[in-house]
Structure 1
Amino acid sequence: MSGTESGDTTGRGQDDATVADWCRTVLFTVVFYGLSVPVVAIAPASALFGQRSAIAYAHGWARLHRWATRAILGIHVRVEGQVPPTQTLFAAKHQAMFETLELQLLLGGPAMVLKRQLMRIPLWGWAARLYGAIAVDREASAKALRGMVREAEAAKATGRSVIVYPEGTRVAPGQTPPLRSGFAGLYRALSLPTVPIALDTGRLLPRHGARRPGVVTIRLGEPIPPGLPRREIEARVHAEINALEPSRA
């Protein structure tokens, strides 16, 4: 399964950004974030009608983002691998905001592990929690990790899959930090097949500087069965989510 492929795939570095790249980036910022202000402001109202309404509303915002990145930035997606038809623990690389929205659409709306700080935003945090977001503290104590696991188990009980970014933070292309300890706890407690997700969104969507047109790849690995020892599951997931890094491709 794949999106339409077009645009610059020459691998230009960020220092090679053109005037056109900067114009597209500015236009995207004005259009997407300008439209997002009222969308996010109204999100708590959608949550008043229950979780199904909150999920549908959030996916509408994600579709707005998908349209803006394609139509304005010229960024398209190549998807490699298949989305499992059953409940899954997804473990994904995190290089840009792009995947936090795109994967919600691609994977059918899994409950997402988010930084606890985001959950503290008035009203929005309440709506995010109703959507099914699971709060995690980057410097989590054992008590906080147990709370995260309980929330993930509650999401599993409703039939939803769960997605986590196991490195714990957004990283630049080429960076491969170790997995955070919370991932192993989720893997053990949920006892679900785990699908690693590699991606290279940071190549065209850097944290700073101009975005560039082209094709980003999202690669879904084969499901890893539950019940493996901690060292083995962490090693396999770490290797597979970093499979698109230049030294590993």
Structure 2
Amino acid sequence: MNALRTLAFSIAFYGGTVLFVATAALLSPFGRTPVQKVAEAWARYHRRCAAGLLGICTRLEGAVPTGAVLVACKHQAMFETLEVVIILCRPQVVMKSELARIPVWGWIARRYGMIPVDRAGGAAALRRLMVQAREAVAEGRPIVIFPEGTRVAPGEQPELQPGFAGLYRAFNLPVVPVALDSGRLWPRHGFTKRSGVVTMRFGAPIPPGLPRREIEARVHAAINALERPGAERELGPQS
């Protein structure tokens, strides 16, 4: 049953995505705002498909931040990358540069304000990230970063990537950590999703200006607040 629900979701969501991308491309000559509105509508469409076809919905805990702030989010599935577009106010999301090379979609993502970063690019990639993120700060928009660098399975708690500390130091912004457990229902590997509730827990803001070791330790602990070692194995076989 889960496999059939996942198949129905894939057909509906990815089929609809083609229409949203085409609409955004047609509206892009009229500025960034129409593209952002289409992106928000696409994220809401994803939420409806996930709820209606997969039986996956979101429970928010804690206070959702507003204004210019760094949002350091755990990353276990594609699910949260679209949820943050709805939950936050037009966030700029730091994404891996490979996504920006997807034909048409990658260009639209840049037009929306996504920030592609080459994870293997070293100091040069970090400088480009800083330049692009300054625009978000000037506009009072939140910047979402997945500080562990990539999707991880439930129970995994890798060290934070250096780009997070660089942003924190450069922009002198408070950090709001976000713990989540989407990987229980939306596994990193495999096709089939499971129904249930994804918890997204927004932690208390952490002030700017802390030493690197302290900010990294506090953020690492906060984004992993819902983690349990071996959680992925506890799911068992999927039908």
The two structures have a TM-score, normalised by structure 1, of 0.88
1:53-132 matches, cutoff 5 A = 53-132=34-113
What does 1:161-172 correspond to in 2, within 5 Å? 161-172=142-153
Decide which moves more: 157-166 or 43-52. 43-52
Question: How far apart are the structure 1 equivalents of 2:111 and 2:9?
Answer: 29
Q: Secondary structure at the match of 1:108?
A: coil
* Pairs aligned (count): 230
Aligned-residue offset at 1:103:
1.0
Any gaps of 5 or more consecutive residues in structure 2? 232-239
Structure 1 segments, 4+ long, off by >6 Å, are none
Residue of structure 2 in register with 1:215 after alignment:
197
Partner residue of 1:235?
A: 217
Partner SS for 1:86: coil
Whole-Å Cα distance in 2 between the matches of residues 31 and 137 of structure 1? 31
Aligned-residue offset at 1:248: 11
Counterpart CA distance in 2 for 1:114 and 1:247 is 26
Q: Which runs of 5+ in 1 are unaligned?
A: 1-19
Alpha-carbon contact 1:242-1:248 (below 8 Å) kept: no
Matched AA of 1:233:
I
Mean CA deviation greater in 47-56 or 165-174: 47-56
- Please name the residue that 2:157 is paired with: 176
- Which residue among 130, 151, 154 is the counterpart of 2:132? 151
Given that 1:43 and 1:124 are in contact with CA atoms closer than 8 Å, whether structure 2 keeps it comes out as no
Alignment counterpart, residue 115 of structure 2, candidates 104, 125, 134: 134
- After superposition, the CA RMSD in angstroms is 1.6
2-side partners of 1:126 and 1:70: how far apart? 28
Q: Which is helix-richer, 1 or 2? A: 2
CA distance in 2, matches of 1:76, 1:93: 17
Q: Which residue of the partner structure matches residue 226 of structure 1?
A: 208
1:153 deviates by 1.1
Cα deviation code 1:95-142 (max 9, x no counterpart): 111000011100122111011122223433232112111121111221
CA distance in 1, matches of 2:79, 2:222: 20
Q: Does 1:41 align with 2:13?
A: no
> Deviation string for 1:68-109 (max 9, x for gaps)?
000111112111001123321100011111000011100122
Q: For residue 57 of structure 2, give the secondary structure of its aligned residue in structure 1.
A: strand
Shift of 1:29: 1.0
Residue 15 of structure 1 corresponds to none
Q: Percent identity?
A: 55
Residue 247 of structure 1, CA deviation: 4.6
Cα offsets for 1:171-214 (capped at 9, x unmatched): 11111111111110011112111000000001011131421111
Q: Distance in 2 between matches of 1:85 and 1:119?
A: 26
- 1:5 is matched with none
Structural mapping, 1:1-12, within 5 Å = none
TM-score normalized by the length of structure 2: 0.92
SS at match of 2:3: helix
